A and B are shown apart, each in its own frame.
Chain A
Amino acid sequence: MADPQLKEKVTELIAENPVLLFMKGTPEMPRCGFSMRVVQVLDSMDVEYGAVDVLPALQPLREVTAEISDWQTFPQLYVNGELVGGADIVEEMAESGELAEALGVEQPAAAPQAAAPGQSPPLQIE
């Protein structure tokens, strides 16, 4: 059973951030290869996104996302309130152009470029 307060907080974050990534580590310093892959895809898309580091509360957050989205592994990318997927799905959708469409941006011409500056600071779970 997930912590109701944490669940409410997570639900709010998902509602407030059109593009939100739950990841291990931060976009500047990912602590897991799967999380890093999603960060690279998002940075290549030139899209602003919020990021939540799940490591400080990994197990409670697993329980929360299991209830909200029926998904317990991280990273998790949410777009407009819906879980899009983890690293595998995000990469597949990036290649096919579906991700750019979901994000409402132009499909980048080439492979992911170097990390773009100017992404929003990591969000904190309190």
Chain B
Amino acid sequence: MVDLAELKAMIEAALPGASVEMSDETGDGNHLRAEVRASQFEGLSRIDQHRLVKAAVKERFDDGTIHALSVKTEVAG
């Protein structure tokens, strides 16, 4: 079972101060989306910004809880 609040907390823990919005676009856990706004993204390429977000929830990918996560990042300034 996908726990959106847990995923949000994992991202917030990895990127202190970030604002994170999680959504489950189809309600079945297969189309998860994270919108993350963080000052830590400053100066990073988008791929590196996404890597930070994906690394934060890697454990849930590895244990098979989630299969795909669509990510949108924005530099908080």
Contact = CB atoms under 8 A, between A and B. Distances in A.
Contact of B71 (A70, A71, A84, A88): A88
Size category of the B interface is under 10
Contacts of B51: 70-71
Size category of the A interface is 10 to 19
B47 A83 contact: yes
A73 B68 CA distance: 8
Interface string B12-52: 00000000000000000000000000000000001100110
Interface of B: 46-47, 50-51, 68, 70-72
Interface of A: 70-71, 73, 83-85, 88-89, 92-93
Considering the complex of A and B, which 9 residue pairs feature the smallest CB-CB distances, nearest first?
A: A89-B46, A85-B47, A88-B70, A83-B47, A85-B46, A88-B71, A89-B47, A70-B51, A89-B50
